[in-house]
Amino acid sequence: MDTLASQLDRMSVPGDLYEKLQGGDVRCHACAHRCLIHAGRRGICQVRYNRAGVLMVPWGYVASLQSDPIEKKPFYHFLPGEDALTFGMLGCDFHCGYCQNWVTSQALQDEASNMAGNYIRAIDAETLIAFGRRMGASIVASSYNEPLITTEWAHHIFTHARAAGMKCVYVSNGFATPETLDYLAPVLDGYKVDLKSMQESVYRQLGGKLQPVLDTIRATHDRGLWVEVVTLIVPELNDSVDELMAAARFIASVSAEIPWHVTAFHGDYRMQDRENTSREMLLRAAEIGQEAGLQHVYAGNLPGHVEGYEQTRCPHCQTTLIGRQGFHVTSYKLLPGGHCPECGQIVAGVWADNSESVKVDQGENFRMRRPRFL
Binds ligand SF4 (CB under 6 A): choice among 89, 149, 292, 350: 149
Indicate the helix (H) or strand (E) that contains 61: strand 61-62
If DSSP codes are grouped into helix, strand and coil, which group holds residue 331?
strand
Size of the site for ligand SF4 (CB under 6 A): 12
Site string for ligand SF4, 77-96 (x = CB under 6 A): ----------------x---
Binds ligand SF4 (CB under 6 A): choice among 48, 261, 296, 328: 48
Binds ligand SF4 (CB under 6 A): choice among 21, 34, 97, 326: 34
From 26-34, 58-66, 109-117, 280-288, span contacting ligand SF4 (CB under 6 A)? 26-34
Can you tell me the distance from the alpha carbon of 129 to that of 369, in angstroms, rounded to the nearest whole number? 21
Nearer to ligand SF4, 17 or 198 (CB): 17
DSSP 308-320: TTTSEE-TTT--E
Binds ligand SF4 (CB under 6 A): choice among 4, 8, 26, 44: 44
Nearer to ligand SF4, 33 or 73 (CB): 33
Can you tell me the distance from the alpha carbon of 217 to that of 307, in angstroms, rounded to the nearest whole number? 28
Applying CB under 6 A, does 33 fall inside the site for ligand SF4? yes
Q: At its nearest, how many Å lie between ligand SF4 and the CB of residue 166? A: 25
Radius of gyration from C-alpha coordinates of the chain: 20
Q: Going edge to edge, which strands form the sheet with 18-20?
A: 18-20, 26-28, 36-37
Q: At its nearest, how many Å lie between ligand SF4 and the CB of residue 264? A: 29
> Is the separation of the CB atoms in 218 and 254 below 8 Å?
yes
Q: Which class for 228: exposed (0-12), middle (13-18), buried (19 or more C-beta within 10 A)?
A: buried
Question: Using CB under 6 A as the criterion, which residues of the chain lie in contact with ligand SF4 when the complex forms?
Answer: 28, 30-31, 33-35, 43-45, 48, 93, 149
